[in-house]
Amino acid sequence: PKPVHGMLKWPYRLHGHLFISPSSARSAEAKAFAYCPYSRFRVGAALLTKDGAIFTGCNVENACNNLGICAERTAIAKVVSAGHREFKAIAIASDLREQFISPCGGCRQFMREFGSSWNVYLSKLDGSHVEMTVRELLPRSFGPDDLGMEKGNSTPSKL
């Protein structure tokens, strides 16, 4: 495929694949930092906020196996602790060539806390993507509204 130059509007289609730029590229970069000595399965995530900021995350495993955290949750914890709660999309990258990396159930619930109608980009190693909404990945979900909350997106400083 020919390289593409210049500014590309997000998201864009190329060679029949859907790419999100720049967050898809950033998820692949984040994968390089994966701490995964136990599974050797590298995952990177890049989360795009409504105001255009991008935060990355990688999986961080632990000798106490069940304490490991996924790339998606790392990225969400980083972005929320930086004061953002309104998200446009999260892109996920792994080394899988034949399959689109799909978030685990725990991460789907973590995403859903901050709304159901934002996008998740499941990618293959070649950068091609499938676009899904949080709602499609986690239908009929339990969320903040079920506890009488407005939604998880309320501005920081409010509880």
Q: How far apart are the first and last CA of the chain?
A: 49
Complex with ligand DUR: residue 42 or 88, whichever CB lies closer: 42
Q: How far is CA 79 from CA 23, 46, 141, in A?
A: 14, 10, 22
Examine residue 39 and tell whether it contacts ligand DUR (CB under 6 A).
Answer: yes
Nearest distance in Å: CB 13, ligand DUR: 24
Q: What is the DSSP letter of 66?
A: G
72 is a catalytic site residue? yes
Nearest distance in Å: CB 99, ligand DUR: 11
119-123 and 129-133 strand pairing: antiparallel
Examine residue 70 and tell whether it contacts ligand DUR (CB under 6 A).
Answer: yes
Identify the residue among 101, 120, 137, 138 touching ligand DUR (CB under 6 A): 101
Identify the residue among 58, 76, 80, 107 touching Zn ion (CB under 5 A): 107
Smallest CA-to-CA distance from 145 within 113, 118, 105, 119 is with: 113
Angle at 41 between CA 62 and CA 21, to 5 degrees: 115
Complex with ligand DUR: residue 62 or 154, whichever CB lies closer: 62
Identify the residue among 22, 68, 143, 152 touching ligand DUR (CB under 6 A): 68
Residue type, 99: Q
- Measure the CA–CA gap between 8 and 108, rounded to whole angstroms: 28
x/- site string to Zn ion, residues 54 to 93, per CB under 5 A? Answer: ----------------x-----------------------
Residues classed as catalytic:
72
